A and B are shown apart, each in its own frame.
Chain A
Amino acid sequence: MTGKERVLMTLNHKMADRVPWVPFAGVHAASLIGKNATEALTDGDVLFDSLMEVKKLYAPDGMPVIFDLQIEAEILGCELLWADKGPPSVASHPLEDTTKLPCDCTQPAPDKGRLPMVTDVMKRMSAEVGEDTALYGLICGPFTLASHLRGNNLFMDMILNEEYVNSLMEFTTTTALKMIDMYIDAGMDVIAVVDPLVSQISPEHFESMCHESFKTIFDYIKAKGKASSFFVCGNATRQIEVMCKTDPDSISIDENVVMKDAKEITDKYNITIGGNIPLTTLMLHGTQQENMKFVVNMIDELSNDNLIIAPGCDMPFNVPAENTIGVAQAVRETDKVRTMVENYEAPKEDIYVELPDYDNLDKPLVEVFTLDSATCAACTYMMGAMNVAGDEYGKKIELVEYKFTEKENIARCVKMGVTNLPCVYINGKLQWSSIIPSKEELFKVIDGLL
């Protein structure tokens, strides 16, 4: 079963061979190829290359092409403040001082703003990986887009000028439908409507002023034969039920919502739920072991039907690649990783490992530590890169792989202080972690030791 089949089957509420994995690598993708967020969000080639790196390292079943909720706002006249390590922020709200509606002539069209670049990358991704990977087209939700246009006054309008909010929501709903047309034409399999601000209004306000818009959007996606998702951020505990009533195929939540409780509600409506690996405390600041453990616990604790494993929201730029690799492995090989985590936490004292005398080696020693090069994509590439050196240098170097699936190797990792996999130690010193070196870089290091 391909990743794409797995995601689409799950969004169609059927049990796949395992739980799908959808990393939300937005700006983070750029970090994998040494570029900044602005470069990836404005230059199609950089965006494409960074996405291909995500595909290679994280082996996703599904993935977003671009995670930027400001694409529509920019076209509609909001000024943006760009950042190196995050998506841009909206810096001005064209409707801040007026309760007029924007002209329909400002609505997004294929030639406006960054859409030519975005749809081109979508088409390239669809051609390159669309066969086996479900591609997500992310649009800005109508409520958050309304707030981009109107600023914080929108919240007061909800109480003082409901009629205006309804008209503005009608406008932003039209925007959403136009975006959906363009993204589906560009080859997207799933349309995700990302509306973080929904968590900031009462369920009653959602029903009176937002329900209609979201229902229209999800019905439209369904009518076009594609799957849908409703992404929210923040503590949306009280909004989950009213979100379900708008009929999306899935809902995605972050760590502010308790997954188990939310899933009880989404299960009642037969809606798939995705989430909710903590972004900052775990993905950004946690260890690989902690990330793997969290995901194994999640899979063990929740019923595996109607479930997608994903980060809580757009991953922070600086998430260490090894943490995401660990998550991917925990989803793909849950049983093996459960055992790995157990063995790492309680290493068997009866396993004695003798480390080489690194200061007195006969020849350069390349030690590759992997989660399992047979099943972990990043590990496969790392081992593959080192095998190229093995072929090139033959007996001039010693090359050895330690798979984390063996207890002895876990004991070795603990003794050596290896925490992130895959990684390469040369002569006992950490040389590369997660990011696979180019052939030139690798040979240069080895040549320096011969």
Chain B
Amino acid sequence: MSETLEQIGELLQKGNMPEVVRLCGVAIEEESSASEILDALLGGMSIIGGKFKRNEVFVPEVLIAARAMNGGLEVIKPLLLEEGVESIGKMLIGTVKGDLHDIGKNLVGMMMTGAGFEVIDLGVDVSAEKFIEAIEEHNAEIICMSALLTTTMVNMKGIIEALEEKGIRNNVKVMIGGAPITDQFAKEIGADMYAPDAATAAEEAKKLIA
């Protein structure tokens, strides 16, 4: 890996967006391929994810690193298209109906982007109908649902039932997470995967579509 690419990864971890953006331009001039630069960006984000999981960094550090990653991704986007580099999969993410908490959902979205997914964020208070519409519109392979409250986590079940009724349950993998969620709850409601933190969610998502 070139010195510039290494620096991109390191500066991303420090959340230095202006420098990451500048160095992505330098790397292009040095004739690194878009996929090489992408790997440098995602590699940096993956290290941040690991540190977050181990309680070594916290929400502000992850958000600022993700901002740097997104800055870099914008620079190389046209080249990725030119080179025909595709995302590893398409996913929808949202906090379920009745729940407005979005920090956890946002962190998972960022880690998923960092893992190479195309992430479509449906926001908070997302109904079953909205999930279904979006699955059909985007042809997503995975849906991720978040809930922070014991009173809204039950709505995840309703969404899975709606997918079944619509006959599209087998077309998508369902991942769930949030403070009150457990592996047992995921099994009870028929979700495919529960992840306790954002970094694990990204790792498991890759396995789900492998």
Q: Interface on A for B, CB 8 Å cutoff?
A: 81, 83-86, 89-91, 152, 155-156, 158-160, 200-202, 205, 234-235, 237-238, 279-281, 284, 316-318
Contact check, A86 vs B149: say whether CB atoms are below 8 A apart. yes
A interface footprint on B53-72 (CB within 8 Å = 1, 0 otherwise): 00101111101100100000
B14 closest partner in A (C-beta): A159
| CB<8 Å pairs between A and B, sample of 19 | A85-B151, A89-B99, A89-B101, A152-B106, A155-B60, A155-B63, A156-B60, A159-B15, A200-B59, A201-B60, A202-B57, A202-B60, A205-B60, A234-B179, A237-B55, A280-B182, A316-B150, A317-B151, A318-B150
Partner of B60, one of A90, A158, A238: A158
Contact check, B180 vs A280: say whether CB atoms are below 8 A apart. yes
Contact check, B179 vs A156: say whether CB atoms are below 8 A apart. no
Contact check, A152 vs B102: say whether CB atoms are below 8 A apart. yes
Contact check, B64 vs A156: say whether CB atoms are below 8 A apart. yes
Residue pairs across A and B with CB atoms within 8 Å: the count is: 62
Contact check, B67 vs A89: say whether CB atoms are below 8 A apart. no
Residues of chain B within 8 A (CB-CB) of A152 are 63, 102-103, 106
B98 at the interface (CB under 8 A from A): yes
Question: Considering the complex of A and B, which 9 residue pairs feature the smallest CB-CB distances, nearest first?
Answer: A85-B151, A155-B60, A200-B59, A316-B150, A89-B100, A280-B180, A158-B60, A86-B151, A202-B58
Contact check, A201 vs B150: say whether CB atoms are below 8 A apart. no
CB distance from A208 to the nearest CB of B (A): 11
The docked-state distance in angstroms from the alpha carbon of A316 to that of B154 is: 13
Partner of B150, one of A84, A159, A237, A280: A280
Indicate the size class of the contact surface on chain B: 20 to 34
Partner of A91, one of B55, B100, B103, B182: B100
Partner of A159, one of B64, B106, B152, B180: B64
The docked-state distance in angstroms from the alpha carbon of A205 to that of B61 is: 10
CB distance from A112 to the nearest CB of B (A): 23
Partner of B58, one of A83, A200, A279: A200
Partner of A202, one of B61, B101, B102: B61
Partner of B98, one of A83, A156, A159, A318: A83
Residues of chain B within 8 A (CB-CB) of A90 are 100
**In the complex where A90-B100, A160-B64 touch, is A201 in contact with B180 (Cβ < 8 A)?**
no
Residues of chain A within 8 A (CB-CB) of B149 are 83, 86
Known: A159-B61, A200-B58, A234-B179. 15 other contacts (CB 8 A): A83-B151, A86-B149, A89-B99, A90-B100, A91-B100, A152-B106, A155-B103, A156-B67, A158-B60, A160-B64, A201-B60, A202-B60, A205-B60, A281-B182, A316-B150
Residues of chain B within 8 A (CB-CB) of A202 are 57-58, 60-61
B150 closest partner in A (C-beta): A316
Report whether over half of chain B's contact residues are helix, strand or loop; otherwise say mixed: loop
B103 closest partner in A (C-beta): A152
The docked-state distance in angstroms from the alpha carbon of A248 to that of B164 is: 51
The docked-state distance in angstroms from the alpha carbon of A86 to that of B182 is: 20
Contact check, A81 vs B100: say whether CB atoms are below 8 A apart. yes
The docked-state distance in angstroms from the alpha carbon of A152 to that of B100 is: 12
B182 closest partner in A (C-beta): A281
**In the complex where A152-B63, A155-B63 touch, is A316 in contact with B58 (Cβ < 8 A)?**
no
Contact check, A156 vs B63: say whether CB atoms are below 8 A apart. yes
A interface footprint on B81-117 (CB within 8 Å = 1, 0 otherwise): 0000000000000000011111100100000000000
A281 closest partner in B (C-beta): B182
Residues of chain A within 8 A (CB-CB) of B99 are 89
Contact check, B55 vs A235: say whether CB atoms are below 8 A apart. yes
Residues of chain B within 8 A (CB-CB) of A316 are 150-151
Residues of chain A within 8 A (CB-CB) of B152 are 86
A80 closest partner in B (C-beta): B100
The docked-state distance in angstroms from the alpha carbon of A89 to that of B125 is: 11
The docked-state distance in angstroms from the alpha carbon of A112 to that of B207 is: 53
The docked-state distance in angstroms from the alpha carbon of A235 to that of B149 is: 16
The docked-state distance in angstroms from the alpha carbon of A234 to that of B196 is: 12
Contact check, B151 vs A200: say whether CB atoms are below 8 A apart. no
The docked-state distance in angstroms from the alpha carbon of A14 to that of B72 is: 57
The docked-state distance in angstroms from the alpha carbon of A316 to that of B152 is: 11
Most chain A CB neighbours (cut-off 10 Å) among B55, B57, B98, B150: B150
A316 closest partner in B (C-beta): B150
Residues of chain B within 8 A (CB-CB) of A235 are 55
Contact check, A159 vs B60: say whether CB atoms are below 8 A apart. yes
The docked-state distance in angstroms from the alpha carbon of A258 to that of B134 is: 41
The docked-state distance in angstroms from the alpha carbon of A238 to that of B150 is: 25
A90 closest partner in B (C-beta): B100
Most chain A CB neighbours (cut-off 10 Å) among B58, B67, B149: B58
A interface footprint on B20-37 (CB within 8 Å = 1, 0 otherwise): 000000000000000000
Residues of chain A within 8 A (CB-CB) of B151 are 83-86, 316-317
A interface footprint on B165-189 (CB within 8 Å = 1, 0 otherwise): 0000000000000011010000000
Residues of chain A within 8 A (CB-CB) of B182 are 280-281
CB distance from B180 to the nearest CB of A (A): 4
CB distance from A141 to the nearest CB of B (A): 16
Residues of chain A within 8 A (CB-CB) of B125 are 81
Residues of chain A within 8 A (CB-CB) of B58 are 200-202, 205
**In the complex where A156-B60, A159-B64, A202-B57 touch, is A279 in contact with B150 (Cβ < 8 A)?**
yes
A interface footprint on B132-153 (CB within 8 Å = 1, 0 otherwise): 0000000000000000011110
